[in-house]
A = this chain, B = another copy of it.
Amino acid sequence: MNKYESMTRQELESELNILYASLTEYGEKGLNLDLTRGKPGTEQLDISQEMLGVISTSDDCMSQSGIDCRNYGILDGLPEAKRLFSRLLNIPEKNLIVEGNSSLNIMFDTVARAMLFGVYGSEKPWGMQGHIKFLCPSPGYDRHFAICEAMGIEMIPVDMTPDGPDMDAVEKLVAIDPSIKGIWCVPKFSNPEGYTYSDETVRRFANLKTAAPDFRIFWDNAYAVHEIYDEKVELLDIFEESKKAGNEDKVFYFASTSKITFPGSGVAIMAASENNIIQIKPILSAQTIGFDKINQMRHVKYFKDADGVHAHMKRHADIIRPRFEAVINAFRANLSGIASWTEPRGGYFVNLTVPDGCAKRVFRLAADAGVTLTKAGASFPYGNDPRDRHLRIAPTYPSFADLEMAISILCLCVKAAVIEKMLSAAI
């Protein structure tokens, strides 16, 4: 129930003018508030600072297995780093490749490799199979979609639900169309809604019957340990489930420490079935002699084990939680009955859903008042939100005071856009 619906036209106009006046006032302040990207704030970066000091002597650089991390060698990751990620993510070491600083880079390379060489089970490289497509649960992560767009892979949007992608639609599409080669998933604390896939969704993914023999689920578990409350949000194990179904070759799994230690200076991993690893490694070995083992060792020495990571994540949670709550409390206080929003238990984003046709207008109004939002539509393939209603809110990067001010302004913008729409509809 929209509280504005009981107002007369005159009341609405008067309310809108008050909102405009406030926004103009903010606009004149020349603010520069940024809610665009899921970047950790400075306070979060500081909690990993000690990691940079854990390696200094040459002894620090020696692995237990006698590998000197400073020299060439070890394509698929330092054994100690494999062990750490294996325990953290419950993935056997033999299925892990520990790589460089960016899981996005691994995902791009994985698509590029599939285009040039195919995947295990491909009759030909994807790039030699004519027009190919990916399913894109939407709203989703804009950088996933940018990889498809760069590669000329057609993106087919699939609706997101609080339980994950609309699996009826997914199953139907992949069953009949062999040109559909993949789907992008952020299965836990999804970007931007913060949804975690239900057990049923994961099981349906694990049992997916695809017309393409070389279909892959790109399982970007970016927020695997990124709870913001003192609880464990369970995500069913995709590898275990897909193994039961004899379907484990269909999964490419990605994760990183970008939002555990340092974005850009973390460690990223890929995991896959043995058949996939056997297909990938020779190509990877043409690409590089190896990744940064000193940085892998830095992470190992700092965290020691998976518990070390979990303890560290609690410190992140303590910083992030009040920010999520500030956003959600402001939305509750100001936008109830006007808009809806997600209330994630982890991850980096809140998704705000405004009435149809209002998202671009809110973006514009906010920009004029000094608040930069992620572009309306960014979380949809080709930047096209068909109902123009989704806005992604990233509360981690600004100072707490800036965040509060930015959200207050955002709420005014939403109200104004909604009233504008009602007035124009009523003409």
Chain A residues near B (Cβ < 8 Å)? 37, 39-40, 42, 45-46, 48-49, 52-53, 55-58, 60-61, 68-73, 100-102, 104-105, 108-109, 112, 115-117, 127, 143, 146-147, 149-151, 258, 262-265, 282-283, 285-295
Contacts and interface: CB of A to CB of B under 8 A. Distances in A.
30 contacts: A39-B71, A39-B73, A42-B58, A45-B61, A45-B71, A49-B56, A52-B55, A53-B56, A69-B265, A71-B262, A72-B258, A100-B100, A100-B292, A101-B291, A102-B290, A102-B291, A104-B289, A116-B116, A116-B127, A143-B286, A143-B289, A147-B286, A150-B282, A150-B283, A264-B292, A264-B293, A264-B294, A265-B293, A265-B295, A292-B295
Contacts of A265: 69-70, 292-295
Given A101-B100, A127-B116, A72 B39 contact: yes
Nearest to A285: B146
A294 B61 CA distance: 18
Given A69-B264, A127-B127, A265-B294, 13 more contacts: A39-B72, A69-B265, A70-B265, A73-B264, A102-B291, A104-B289, A108-B287, A115-B116, A116-B116, A116-B151, A264-B292, A264-B293, A265-B293
Contacts of A143: 286, 289
Contacts of A104: 287-289
Which of A57, A60, A70, A102 is the most central at the interface, judged by chain B CB atoms within 10 Å of its CB?
A70
B49 A57 contact: yes
Contacts of A283: 150
B52 A101 contact: no
A69 B266 CA distance: 12
A404 to B, nearest CB: 21
Given A42-B68, A52-B55, A264 B287 contact: no
Contacts of A293: 264-265
Identical copies of this chain, number: 2
B49 A58 contact: yes
A407 to B, nearest CB: 21
A117 to B, nearest CB: 8
Contact of A101 (B39, B42, B282, B292): B292
B102 A288 contact: yes
Contact of A70 (B37, B262, B291, B292): B262
Which of A58, A149, A287 is the most central at the interface, judged by chain B CB atoms within 10 Å of its CB?
A287
Contacts of A127: 116, 127
B72 A46 contact: no
B71 A58 contact: no
Nearest to A60: B52
A109 B284 CA distance: 11
A33 to B, nearest CB: 17
A37 B73 CA distance: 10
A129 to B, nearest CB: 13
A349 B40 CA distance: 46
A127 B116 CA distance: 8
A72 B264 contact: yes
Contacts of A288: 102, 104-105, 108
B287 A71 contact: no
B108 A116 contact: no
A370 to B, nearest CB: 20
A312 to B, nearest CB: 15
B109 A287 contact: yes
